[in-house]
Structure 1
Amino acid sequence: MPDVISQRLFDGKVCLQLLPRAAYSARDAAQSQTLGVTLERQQGIHAIDSDRRVDFDTLPGVLAYTPIGVEVFSESVTGGEYLLMRLDEPFADEQLPCVTRRVQSSGNRRALTLARAVRRLLLAPQPDPLAFEQCALGLVDLTRQKIDTTQRITSMSFVRVLEQIAEQFHQPLTLAQLADTYGQNPLRFLRDFTQAMGLTPHAYLVEVRLQAARRLIERTDLSLANIALDSGFAHQSHMGSAFRKYLAMTPSQYRSRF
């Protein structure tokens, strides 16, 4: 499993970190302003500036902004890939809106797109400072827009779709199958899913398969051809196309690095 991958920007005033999928239990009284974006679904227990612990089920595309001093406890038995950006106070004061509590938006397509771009840059052998800085400031700029502070309720039918994808990602899945699980027609399901996730069902399925392939490459000696099939890709070249598109490297290069 890869370690946390970090990159400092703007003369060390900003630190980008890619946190891997792994079990964790952490309590952090924020010493810096932080922005975080979920790249994978993550379930566990958390407490935000309170002793009251509640279950959470966080989907990809959640952008969270936590100001200095807000204590966050979070625990998960599986974790999930997460992009974290820490900003030093003077720099943050110039760039971020003034808030006193943690705020977040769900299904944030722009945040997810930027976070995936940063992930690609962090995994690249040679860092590109300009691209890093542009993506970082793009995420900062999102906080200046109206932030949705309401917590969206995930219906049980929607959860069943996510569980179906988690259990059957290695099999061919159709929009009709997923819509049937959701209990609505395919068009209604497509609209609801895309709004909630910031990704279409197909894009989300590819991401789940990509994450599964990455874990098999990191943790096993299976051939890339077998990993492709076990992860739900039609063949090795199909998996290679996904790696090049979303991670800017081939599966072989990924195996060499990790």
Structure 2
Amino acid sequence: MISQDKRCFLDAPLQSILNGLGEEARTRGQNGRLYAEKLVQSLADRLLILTRTRETAWLTNNLDMCTRRRITDRLEATPDADFDVETLAAERGCSKRHLFRTFRVSTGRSPHQYVLDLRIEKARRLMLKPNLSLMHIAMECGFKSDAHFTRAFRQRLGVPPSIFRRRL
């Protein structure tokens, strides 16, 4: 019997295959033997893929290159979007804690710090446009308030955004 606690299956394709097998068992093989065999083969293939691609990454607490690229591409494409660690962890098939740990080992920063750095870099580029206010830039870069923007900017660059902009 498949576990009722589906949270233990963090890999979405694996969860889908297991759900299909569970449904096939509940309906007593209504879709036929060939379909059930295909599901079992898909399960074996998926487990093989998961162990091959992630085996060394899990052992070394490091992100595999494909996963790292997918996460960083998403974060870089939308640095102003709300950061959803649960979704990223679920896509990778791991816990949030493991994602944080492996991301930090791979990049030297936590996912949150990485996103803040991307937002600050975007803000620096937008400051070259004199017609944009600092408040507009803060909102455009995903900061919830002007104070949060100023604090993050000062921590990373050593000066508040207003002084940085005057020096441009």
Q: Quote how far apart the aligned CAs of 1:178 are.
A: 2.3
CA RMSD, 1 decimal: 1.8
Q: 2: distance between equivalents of 1:153 and 1:237?
A: 34
Pairing 1:194–2:101 present: no
What is the TM-score of this pair, normalised by structure 1? Answer: 0.39
CA contact (8 A) 1:157 1:183 kept: no
- Deviation at 1:154? 4.9
Moved over 4 A (4+): none
> Taking structure 1 as reference, are residues 154 and 257 closer, same or farther at Cα in structure 2, changes over 3 Å only?
farther
Conserved in 1, the CA contact under 8 Å of 2:143 and 2:149? yes
The superposition leaves residues 197-254 of structure 1 with CA deviations (integer Å, 9 ceiling, x where unpaired) of 0101111111111111111012452111110011111121111001111111111101
Checking the alignment, whether the CA contact within 8 Å between 1:216 and 1:227 is kept in structure 2 is yes
In 2: Cα distance, 1:174 partner to 1:191 partner? 16
Partner of 1:241: 151
SS of match in other structure, 2:136 = helix
Counting only pairs closer than 5 Å after superposition, residues 47-62 of structure 1 correspond to structure 2 as none
Structure with a larger share of its residues in strand? 1
Give identity over the alignment, percent.
29
TM-score under structure 2 normalisation? 0.59
Aligned residue type for 1:213: A
5+ residue gaps, structure 1, are: 1-151
- Summarize the alignment of residues 157-196 of structure 1 with structure 2, pairs less than 5 Å apart: 157-196=67-106
Number of residue equivalences = 107
Rg larger in structure: 2
Unaligned ranges ≥5, structure 2: 1-61
Report the counterpart of residue 221 of structure 1 in structure 2. 131
